[in-house]
Structure 1
Amino acid sequence: MTLAMSWDEWARHDATALAARVRGGEVTPAELAAQAAAGIARTNPTLSGVVELFEDVVADPLKDGMDASGPFAGVPYLMKDLGPTLKGRLQEMGSLLMRGNRAQADSFLAGRIRQAGLNIIGRSTTPEFGCCSSAENPAVYVTRNPWNTDYTTNGSSAGTAAMVSAGVLPISHATDGGGSIRIPAGATGLIGLKASRGVFSIAPNASDLTGLVSIQGCHTRSVRDTALFVDRCRGGAPGEFMPYWSAPEPYTDLIRRDPGRLRIALSHEWGDYRATPHFVRELERVGRFLEGLGHHVEWALPQVDFRAAFAAQTTCYISNFAQTVANLLAQHGLDRPPADRVEPINIRIWEAGLNTSYTERARMQAVFNTTSRAFGAFFEDWDIILTPITALPTPLIGTTEYLTISDNPSVHDWFGNLWRNFAYTPLANLCGIPAISMPLGRQESGLPLGIQAQARQANDGLLLQLAAQVERALEGRWNGGERPAVHVARA
């Protein structure tokens, strides 16, 4: 098959640039889809990041209602196999239990994505129900990191991270209930924005009120692609519980200007959790870089009861995921999770959380409130707080203590392992504040290390503005201009 462009040329384009070429008549959406499909064929046997390719949509990008006049003009896109549904398409959630499950309707966000001109050509991998840090169950699939396939991508937006990092496509869907956009972006050298509450709809099956901590989004390799995605896919569906807010101006315009001099706090000591010395040095180095851009940078920390906050977050996860599992069991007419089709930790979460009382949830929400107020007070004095994306290095494939295939008998101890590694991302979900992972560091293993910036609620634009300023200072060369070991232009 003759492709529209060489792999090196393809990988140099972000989504905005590909769309411009479509509008200029140089390439068609069908040619873009064919190239992305060839990229999947080229890399997926090694990375296992794609569950299914929609060959009918590759052949006819307009088949499912994609609007080629939208700003992305037919750029190919993968949907994480969790969250937004696509009518008639499989959604299996990384689970043996959900094999063969087909969605009855498009979700609201799926429609927004298609209206934006993104061509959804397949499904990307996720751990079972999105409930752990790696898409890594050998009975389902094992998604590997393109930078070094001995390592995980982290999760839960695992397949998206692998495919965007490997140059297969420039933008793809991700979700974040405690870091699942930012953590894999950080380990694979991508930009991952977790938006504030009230940006992306999860209608019709849930809302910001019922989802509480879960946010939709994307992975990209350029700030302008993320900005355009937010601009064109944001907004509430009819009947939303929470107010859906709009930015004063499009982010695609805002990011063309540098922010003013920002007050940036560095931190890595969050309650009982600490980053490794190497990660602290990388954070300090990035702090000095930002000082060089004219910002004020020093160490500071919100006055948060971190133990109480992480305990409340654990209660939220256990009770939320227990209900998720219960709802899926009801669809199958089952009374309890079958041990041969649901992973051990998810069974234990179901057992531990199914009968969570209103009193326990009320106490949890009270801590959510005090934690959110503490971050709010902090952001009266500071514009940004900067942390490493994780406290500990990205695990090797086969490190089971973080996985839902773990044999750990204690759900609370299992979550404690998660927080030790992924300490810096979940509280943004708890508080509903925005956070972004920028590929600015490097781990001792050679993998990328994301540096996370968080801001006050609804200050998403400031994070994108800062990221764009950094991108310009780097002349667009995130990750030092390096490409992963597994990449479409190397294969």
Structure 2
Amino acid sequence: MTLSMSWSEWADHDATALAERVRQGDVTPAELAAQAAAAIARVNGALDAVVEVFDDLVADPLADGMRPEGVFAGVPYLMKDLGPTLKGRRQEFGSMLMQGHRPADDSFLTRRIRRAGLNILGRTTTPEFGVCSAAENRLHVTRNPWNTGFTTNGSSAGTAAVVAAGVLPMSHATDGGGSIRIPAGATGNIGLKVSRGVFSLAPGLSDLSGLVSIQGCHSRSVRDTAAFVDHCRGGAPGEFMPFWTPAQSCCDLIRTDPSPLRIAMSHEWGDHRATPHFVAELERVGRLLEGLGHHVEWRLPPVDFRAAFAAQTTCYISNFAQVIAGHLARLGLERPPEELLEPINIKIWEAGLGLSYSERAAMQAVFNTTSRAFGAFFEDWDIVLTPITALPTPRIGAVDYLTSSTNPSVHDWFDHLWRNFAYTPLANLCGIPAISLPLAMQESGLPLGIQAQARQADDGLLLQLAAQIERALGGQWNGGMRPTVHVPSDRPEVAATRRGPASSPL
């Protein structure tokens, strides 16, 4: 098969550039789809990141109602295997329990994505029900394209791998406590978690009932993420809460630099601390921002972190337990079969079903006080800057973070998560925006995302700051380095290992 672009050319284009090529008549959506399918075939053996390709949408990108006149003009896109539904197509949540499950309808966001001109032509991997920090189970072991001995983190595991490896410029992700930002940080992608009231969870949930869950994407350019937000945002009829519209579109906002910002740096969140190397990388990025004219200081939001993490744990247990209970009822099962559901998820189901209204009310009270504390902090500071994680990205086979863990205590299992993933979940609790930017490196040679968080509805400010940094770097995120498993490489199917620590990209 003759492809429309060389592999280097393909990987050099972001989604905006591909869409412009379509509008100019250089390529067609069908040619883009064929190239994306070939790219998946080229690297998926090494990465195990794609669950399924929809061959009918490779052959005919218009078959499911994609609008080629949308801003992305037929650019290929993959959907994480949970979240928005695709009518009649499998959605299996990374779980043996859900094999063969086919939703009856498209979700509201699915229709928005297609209206924006994205061709949803397959599914990416996720851990079971998106609960744990890596897609690593009996169904899939998704590997990091920078070094396949390591995980991508999760739960947007497959998306992180395909975007980093140059398969696609953009792919779907979800975030209930960091699942957009954490894998973006470990693979060198851009990952924005928006505020509440941006992307709809209709018809199955609302921002009120979902509470911490957010939809989004991974990309390799700020303008792609900005366009995705601008063209996919908005509430469905009957939302429980208003969906806000910014005074200025994100695409317009990112064309200019922000005014000098007050940026607080922090890494000591309650009982949790980043490694010395991560702290040094954070300090270096702080100096970069000072060089761009911003004021940077060490400052910590006045939050009761122990109470906040405990409340977040209660939220996860109660929410996920009800998701599992709903599917058990649909399947006519009284309890999860041990051969079909992983041990920690069974424990979550057991613990969550017994939670009382009083416990949930106490959780919501902590959500309120935590959100108010962050709100007061953002009266004096524009941005809070942290590493994306406190500890290095785990190697494949580190079961402590997986729902296949045999930890007898589900609460201890969650406490173990917070030791590494301390900096992301409270943005979900508060409903504030946060972004992971590929600005640093781990000692292993993997990327290290630096997270910026802002006040409610300042999503555009985060993108504006990201665009300023992108311009300052000449567009060279990750210091211009690319993963060892990458579509343009001579042998992308071979998982080469980067040897020794990489130099910092700034």
Query: Could you state the TM-score of these two structures normalised by the residue count of structure 1?
Result: 1.00
Shift of 1:377: 0.3
Structure 1 residues 388-438: Cα deviation after superposition (integer angstroms, max 9, x where no partner): 000000000000000000000000000011000000000000000000000
Separation of aligned partners in 1, 2:77 and 2:174? 14
Q: What is the aligned partner in structure 2 of residue 88 from structure 1? A: 88
Q: What is the aligned partner in structure 2 of residue 272 from structure 1? A: 271
Structure 1 residues 19-67: Cα deviation after superposition (integer angstroms, max 9, x where no partner): 0000000000000000000000000011000000000000000000000
Q: What is the aligned partner in structure 1 of residue 107 from structure 2? A: 107
Q: What is the aligned partner in structure 1 of residue 496 from structure 2? A: none
Q: What is the aligned partner in structure 1 of residue 182 from structure 2? A: 183
Separation of aligned partners in 1, 2:188 and 2:440? 9
Q: What is the aligned partner in structure 2 of residue 35 from structure 1? A: 35
Shift of 1:355: 1.6
SS at match of 1:136: coil
SS at match of 2:35: helix
Q: What is the aligned partner in structure 1 of residue 68 from structure 2? A: 68
Separation of aligned partners in 2, 1:84 and 1:372? 27
Separation of aligned partners in 1, 2:6 and 2:482? 16
Letter in structure 2 aligned against 1:344: P
Unmatched runs of 5 consecutive residues or more in structure 2: 493-506
- The 5 Å alignment of 1:405-420 reads 405-420=404-419
- The 5 Å alignment of 1:344-423 reads 344-423=343-422
Separation of aligned partners in 2, 1:452 and 1:480? 17
Separation of aligned partners in 1, 2:290 and 2:122? 42
SS at match of 2:239: coil
Letter in structure 2 aligned against 1:161: A
Q: What is the aligned partner in structure 2 of residue 152 from structure 1? A: 151
Separation of aligned partners in 2, 1:20 and 1:347? 48
SS at match of 2:427: helix
Q: What is the aligned partner in structure 2 of residue 128 from structure 1? A: 128
Letter in structure 1 aligned against 2:465: L
1:213 equivalent to 2:218? Answer: no
Shift of 1:349: 0.5
SS at match of 1:313: helix
SS at match of 2:98: coil
SS at match of 2:215: strand
Separation of aligned partners in 1, 2:487 and 2:75? 17
Structure 1 residues 122-152: Cα deviation after superposition (integer angstroms, max 9, x where no partner): 0000000000100000x11100000000000
Letter in structure 2 aligned against 1:10: W
Separation of aligned partners in 2, 1:44 and 1:371? 41
SS at match of 2:96: coil
Shift of 1:331: 0.9
Q: What is the aligned partner in structure 2 of residue 290 from structure 1? A: 289
Structure 1 residues 323-373: Cα deviation after superposition (integer angstroms, max 9, x where no partner): 111011011000000000000000000001112100000000000000000
Letter in structure 2 aligned against 1:43: V
Q: What is the aligned partner in structure 2 of residue 313 from structure 1? A: 312
Q: What is the aligned partner in structure 2 of residue 2 from structure 1? A: 2
Shift of 1:242: 1.3
Separation of aligned partners in 1, 2:241 and 2:396? 39
Separation of aligned partners in 1, 2:53 and 2:293? 46
Q: What is the aligned partner in structure 2 of residue 254 from structure 1? A: 253
Letter in structure 2 aligned against 1:76: P
Identical-residue share of aligned pairs (%) = 78
Unmatched runs of 5 consecutive residues or more in structure 1: none
Separation of aligned partners in 2, 1:353 and 1:120? 34
Q: What is the aligned partner in structure 1 of residue 241 from structure 2? A: 242
Letter in structure 2 aligned against 1:242: M
Letter in structure 1 aligned against 2:325: A
Letter in structure 1 aligned against 2:2: T
- The 5 Å alignment of 1:159-178 reads 159-178=158-177
Letter in structure 1 aligned against 2:296: V
Q: What is the aligned partner in structure 1 of residue 54 from structure 2? A: 54
Letter in structure 2 aligned against 1:223: V
Separation of aligned partners in 1, 2:28 and 2:269? 49
Letter in structure 1 aligned against 2:56: D
Q: What is the aligned partner in structure 1 of residue 12 from structure 2? A: 12
Separation of aligned partners in 2, 1:278 and 1:354? 41
Letter in structure 2 aligned against 1:88: G
Shift of 1:249: 1.2
SS at match of 2:432: coil
Q: What is the aligned partner in structure 1 of residue 192 from structure 2? A: 193
Q: What is the aligned partner in structure 1 of residue 77 from structure 2? A: 77
Separation of aligned partners in 1, 2:69 and 2:154? 33
- The 5 Å alignment of 1:216-231 reads 216-231=215-230
Separation of aligned partners in 2, 1:145 and 1:373? 37
Q: What is the aligned partner in structure 2 of residue 484 from structure 1? A: 483
Q: What is the aligned partner in structure 2 of residue 304 from structure 1? A: 303
SS at match of 1:381: coil
Q: What is the aligned partner in structure 2 of residue 341 from structure 1? A: 340
Q: What is the aligned partner in structure 2 of residue 26 from structure 1? A: 26
Shift of 1:278: 0.3
Separation of aligned partners in 2, 1:125 and 1:104? 21
SS at match of 2:378: helix
SS at match of 2:419: helix
Q: What is the aligned partner in structure 2 of residue 451 from structure 1? A: 450
Separation of aligned partners in 2, 1:94 and 1:329? 16
Letter in structure 1 aligned against 2:304: D
Stretches (4+) displaced over 3 A: none
Aligned CA RMSD, in angstroms, stands at: 0.4
Separation of aligned partners in 1, 2:385 and 2:208? 28
Q: What is the aligned partner in structure 1 of residue 280 from structure 2? A: 281
Structure 1 residues 443-489: Cα deviation after superposition (integer angstroms, max 9, x where no partner): 00000000000000000000000000000000000001111000000
